[in-house]
């Protein structure tokens, strides 16, 4: 049997789609590390082939006692990704120290280590969205989640480890497998629910004069594309460093919502609401991945355009009796 692959966060959003893509390649010697809790997250495991699932504390114990099977690659995608999480000590342990432990074990054992950083490390974009080593120390995240991710990026950079490992700064990823995220799921998923319930979509009103309501922009990424870029670093172990995972296109929330209406064949109806005070001062009005470093590394696969990706997701997965594109699963078409 070939060495195993570990996917932390494998029952989560991107992780679940990554395991599916590995299965499509014929890989089933996979260990998932995740916490299922009492919610519906377990449903993401349906249809996946894997050896076992470990809770994170069990995985850390196995690392500490060196009682893991032979492993070729660890995809460390598991983390607390709630941007409004207030428990800083929890984030430090879960997102920073755990990542260090897994990274150090991987390097000792010669296993490939690929981990999820975050576009939240860029803060308000004051220093741009350049993923170079020179720019990384200048970044100033706006919330503790982003800072916990940034801490590991800085630690890896300071110790010269980015020459051996790959970190991926995912921008706004959406697609199947995110239902369990509740309020943290994508606006595509939320918009679908709002439209089917009451025929309209609520978006945050702009509180900055240079942005019209709904014209705040993000770099939206379909999960299939995020998985393809993640697997690129698995297939090319000589490619290391921090890399943005984004489309390289900034699209407005309004454009995104209109794409959902179009996918459903509904007339648009938008309602703008005030942004909660708790997040108003930490809100990103503009994100845009600088993709030059990833592209120059050899990752040349094109991403789906926003409207096509939204249509695939809505018609193929969210709508009643979804059939995907031309009756097939569009997400499974390429990985």
| Residues annotated as part of the active site | 145, 181
Output DSSP code: residue 94: I
Q: Cα 257 to chain center, whole Å?
A: 20
Q: How far is CA 105 from CA 63, 67, 110, 227, in A?
A: 7, 11, 9, 24
The DSSP line for 261-280 is HHHHT----EEEEPPPHHHH
DSSP bridge partners of 143: none
Q: How far apart are CA 59 and CA 69, in angstroms?
A: 12
CA atoms within 13 A on the CB side of 225: 27
| Residue 282, both tokens | 């930490």
3-class DSSP assignment, residue 167: strand
Q: What phi and psi, each to the nearest 5 degrees, are found at residue 186?
A: -70, 160
């Amino acid at each position: 049997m070939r060495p195993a692959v570990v996917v932390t966060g494998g029952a989560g959003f991107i992780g679940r789609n990554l395991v599916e893509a590995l299965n499509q390649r014929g890989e089933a010697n996979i260990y998932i590390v995740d916490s299922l809790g009492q919610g519906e997250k377990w449903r993401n495991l349906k249809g996946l082939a894997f050896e076992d699932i470990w809770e994170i504390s069990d995985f850390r114990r196995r690392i500490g006692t060196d009682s893991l099977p032979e492993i070729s690659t660890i995809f460390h995608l598991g983390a607390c990704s709630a941007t409004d999480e207030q428990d800083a000590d929890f984030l430090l342990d879960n997102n920073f120290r755990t990542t260090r432990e897994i990274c150090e074990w991987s390097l000792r054992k010669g296993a490939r280590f690929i981990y999820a950083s975050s576009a939240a490390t860029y803060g308000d974009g004051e220093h741009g969205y350049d993923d170079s080593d020179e720019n990384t120390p200048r970044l100033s995240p706006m919330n503790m989640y982003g800072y916990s991710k940034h801490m590991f990026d800085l630690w890896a950079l300071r110790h010269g480890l980015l020459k051996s490992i790959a970190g991926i700064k995912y921008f706004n990823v959406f697609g199947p497998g995110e239902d369990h995220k509740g309020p943290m799921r994508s606006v595509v998923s939320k918009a679908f629910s709002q439209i089917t319930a009451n025929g309209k979509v609520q978006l945050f009103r702009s509180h900055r004069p240079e942005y019209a309501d709904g014209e705040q922009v993000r770099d939206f990424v379909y999960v299939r594309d995020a998985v393809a870029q993640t697997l690129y670093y698995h297939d090319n172990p000589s490619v290391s460093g921090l890399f943005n995972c984004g489309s390289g296109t900034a699209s407005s929330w309004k454009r995104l919502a209109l794409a959902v209406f179009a996918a459903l064949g509904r007339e648009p109806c938008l309602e703008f609401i005030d942004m909660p005070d708790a997040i108003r001062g930490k809100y990103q009005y503009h994100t845009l991945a600088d993709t030059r470093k990833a592209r120059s590394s050899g990752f040349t696969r094109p991403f789906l355009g926003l409207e096509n990706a939204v249509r695939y997701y809505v018609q193929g997965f969210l709508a009643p009796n979804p059939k995907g594109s031309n009756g097939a699963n569009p997400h499974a078409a390429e990985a």
